């Protein structure tokens, strides 16, 4: 028998990410973050592999990573925009959780399913943070994909990748609403 949860559906229909640069202090404490992380890890995980791991970045870690991002951008000939983009995510952030896709070598679950599970952790983290009353934003950017930065910054193993950097904090000003996808235009029903 169906047991609808209208409050949960209403939350999902109205939820929205906040731009990371608008998230302010205070940020969740370790105790406040624990149930958010617990909820985020309740994702599809075929084979119970847990093909992901989390790094919680506090402000001192963010300052170190901002300097590392600037150094990496300069070392690779990055322009001012690349430097600003790399630094900005860490300079402006107060707390973030890095979700690392860490696929396990085995024959049962394809790597793509393990990678998608890490993406589900990112979305679960955003939803759980917002359900707990915080603002959240899932970012990537070049700092997530540049191996020369990400490997030392996040201690990545060769098979690992950054799925997302989820910033969490107190919501600042409400940004204007943005256009939402046209469900009818993006959906096709196969009935036979």
167 known member of a binding site: no
Strands across the sheet containing 161-169: 52-57, 96-101, 161-169, 135-139
46 is in an annotated binding site: yes
Q: Is 42 annotated as a binding residue?
A: yes
Q: Is 15 annotated as a binding residue?
A: yes
Element (H, E) at 161: strand 161-169
Q: How many Å apart are CA 137 and CA 96, to the nearest integer?
A: 9
Whether 188 and 152 have beta carbons less than 8 Å apart is answered as no
Residue 13, annotated ligand binder? no
54 marked ligand binding residue: no
Cite the annotated binding site by residue number: 15-17, 42, 46, 138-140
Cite the annotated binding site for FMN by residue number: 15-17, 42, 46, 138-140
């Amino acid at each position: 028998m169906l047991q609808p949860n209208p409050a949960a559906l209403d939350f999902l229909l109205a939820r929205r990410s906040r731009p990371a640069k608008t998230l302010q202090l205070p940020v969740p404490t370790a105790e406040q973050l624990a149930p958010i992380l617990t909820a985020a890890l309740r994702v599809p995980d075929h084979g119970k592999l847990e093909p992901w791991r989390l790094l919680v970045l506090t402000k001192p870690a963010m300052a170190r990573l901002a300097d590392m991002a600037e150094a990496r951008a300069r070392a690779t000939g990055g322009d001012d925009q690349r430097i600003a983009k790399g630094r900005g995510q860490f300079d402006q952030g107060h707390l973030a959780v890095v979700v690392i896709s860490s696929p396990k070598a085995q024959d049962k679950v394809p790597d793509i399913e393990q990678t998608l599970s890490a993406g589900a952790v990112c979305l679960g983290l955003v939803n759980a943070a917002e359900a707990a009353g915080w603002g959240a934003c899932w970012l990537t950017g070049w700092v997530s994909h540049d191996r020369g930065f990400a490997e030392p910054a996040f201690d990545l193993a060769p098979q690992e990748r950054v799925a997302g950097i989820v910033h969490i904090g107190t919501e600042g000003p409400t940004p204007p609403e943005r256009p939402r996808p046209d469900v009818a235009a993006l959906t096709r029903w196969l009935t036979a």
